[in-house]
Chains A and B, each alone.
Chain A
């Protein structure tokens, strides 16, 4: 029994480490993108966008070094971070066959998916 508990806590710690690392990478990249967009805007000036760059044209705008597209990409990454945490937890709990945690994650994923659908329709 104690071995089972230790294995369980080892698995939890493994998930924590993975989530922590993913968050740190995402935070660094999003800050880099937003700061780069701001610096480009300050240096080159130009008209500020009042809305975010549409996701469909984001890669193209990024290639053209459009400051607004850099800021939009950074903001999208920020918004995706909590979703990433939930998805990583979901995958982890599936691997561990933790039924209740899987159901909770599934409910959250459905709710967030509905929120995203509501926003983009």
Chain B
């Protein structure tokens, strides 16, 4: 059981939480990562909240962020609703298991796992040398009528204004996608992150869903997964309304501003700075896990 008790909101600075949400939303939208990657370390390392409280608060904040993104994507018809619902059938149980595990693990264990996750995120964000040939992301395989007939109902189609073309695609290997989705759900709820870092590559590289559709479908998946995780954390008493309340308007405003600023700032420079920041945060989280940071 946590030693943390919130007797009075006056002990907690509303403005600090509002700022935390804002910064997480702003940078997250500019870089293209979920707010949880930033929010959880900020809440634990800077504001001193226990990991479980930070994770629970992060999850419920991601719900509104992901729903906002979904409301935009779905109106432009990029989201593959059926694929999202199918993958959610394994992500939801995964999120349930992850939420339960989070209450069993101690704060240091969660800090350590979060540090490892941050190192992975930093690695994936390191700019790679451009490939000479287009990767699987750009290779949209033509629709074959006989092949994949069993999951033809997952077909997707959207209009890409960038190339002014209608894109038709089929989702491959839905079974493997669902299996990986289960583990993605566990990580999402266990560490309070969306899980987009897993869902998008799985859909894009493995299931051959075009990157734009994969990102949009992943946003809808995040809504459902983080909602399930939030329920478990609320049930276990880790969600405090007056901690979550300032975070939500903060992350919402930050994400909207970040999205509008994203194309005005040199993203390559921003990502390099962010990689260094994430790597340092990862080390701090691991040090915190071994109680080497002090108070």
A residues sitting closer than 8 Å to B (CB atoms) are 9, 12-13, 15-17, 19-21, 23-24, 26-27, 30-31, 34-35, 37-38, 41-42, 45, 47-52, 68, 71-72, 74-75, 78-79, 81-83, 85-86, 89, 98, 100-101, 104-105, 107-108, 111-112, 115-116, 118-119
Contact = CB atoms under 8 A, between A and B. Distances in A.
Main SS at interface, chain A = helix
Nearest to B228: A115
Interface residues of B, number: 52
B169 interface: no
25 contacts: A20-B71, A20-B74, A20-B75, A23-B70, A27-B67, A49-B241, A75-B244, A75-B245, A78-B248, A79-B63, A79-B227, A81-B67, A82-B67, A86-B88, A89-B81, A89-B85, A98-B153, A104-B86, A108-B85, A108-B89, A108-B92, A112-B228, A115-B228, A119-B231, A119-B235
B67 A101 contact: no
Contacts of B79: 16
B68 interface: yes
Contacts of A108: 85, 88-89, 92, 224
Interface string B142-154: 0000000000010
A86 B68 CA distance: 16
Contacts of A42: 14
Contacts of A75: 60, 239, 241, 244-245
A23 B6 contact: no
B74 A115 contact: no
A12 B75 CA distance: 11
A102 B206 CA distance: 25
Interface string B59-102: 01001100110111011010101100110110011001000000
A19 B224 CA distance: 14
A79 B66 CA distance: 12
A12 B9 CA distance: 46
B191 interface: no
A48 B89 contact: no
Most chain A C-beta atoms within 10 Å of own C-beta, residue among B88, B96, B232: B88
Contacts of B8: 47-48
B240 interface: yes
Contacts of B244: 71, 75
A100 B86 CA distance: 10
Contact of B92 (A17, A21, A34, A112): A112
Nearest to B61: A78
B14 A34 contact: no
Contacts of A89: 81, 85
B52 interface: no
B245 A34 contact: yes
B223 A68 contact: no
A31 to B, nearest CB: 6
Given A19-B74, A27-B71, A107-B89, A82 B234 contact: no
Contact of A41 (B60, B88, B242): B242
Contact of A13 (B9, B70, B77): B77
A44 B55 CA distance: 29
